[in-house]
Amino acid sequence: KGERKTHPPVELKPGDLIEIFRSCYQHWAIYVGDGKVVHLAPPCKCPPSLKGEVVLAALSDRAYVKKDWLEDVVRKDRYRVNNKHDETHPPLPVSKIVRRAEELVGREMPYNLTSHNCEHFVMELRYGVAMSDQVGVRGKDRVTEAIAMGTVGVMGVAAAVIRSMAQRRKHRKE
């Protein structure tokens, strides 16, 4: 389907956890090989440039397991391999991680920012334990901040629409 855009080279192995740095949170995926990742995504058909996963996810209790090109998921954001719990939780065999990830592609899953998010999803695939550092004490602050930023954005759009409507009414009266 055409050429893939490239980020700086990162050594990737199947089963690696990929941490993607969005503006105010991290999105997580698991590398399954051949430039592809499996990740949990909100139910949105919007173009990637318009997606705000955190805001969309906050409005939904469902998400979908997707398999996409790593570069399409990362977009213009920074990312890294982050198998951060390997020392405390031995990873499952790579073949099992990849098989489980592939079997889930296309499935609808429960979603909750604090208990069933994309980080919980990939951690369970790699370690067999669903966990998320984004929703610890520090993580709850990040989630709250992301929701607040989304709310402020929606309020800003609403204010602009109301202002525009008021100006139109004023011009009609004149």
Q: Annotated catalytic sites, by residue?
A: 27, 39, 118
φ, ψ for residue 115, nearest 5 deg: -135, -15
Distances (CA, A) of 17 to 1, 45, 75, 79, 106: 25, 25, 17, 10, 20
Beta strands 108-110 and 36-41 are unpaired
Give residues with Cβ within 8 angstroms of 53, minimum separation 6: 22, 25, 27, 41, 42, 118
Other Cβ atoms within 10 Å of 45 Cβ, number: 5
Give residues with Cβ within 8 angstroms of 54, minimum separation 6: 22, 24, 25, 113, 143, 146, 147, 150
φ, ψ for residue 112, nearest 5 deg: -155, 130
CB 94 within 8 A of CB 15: yes
User: For residue 69, which amino acid is it?
Assistant: W
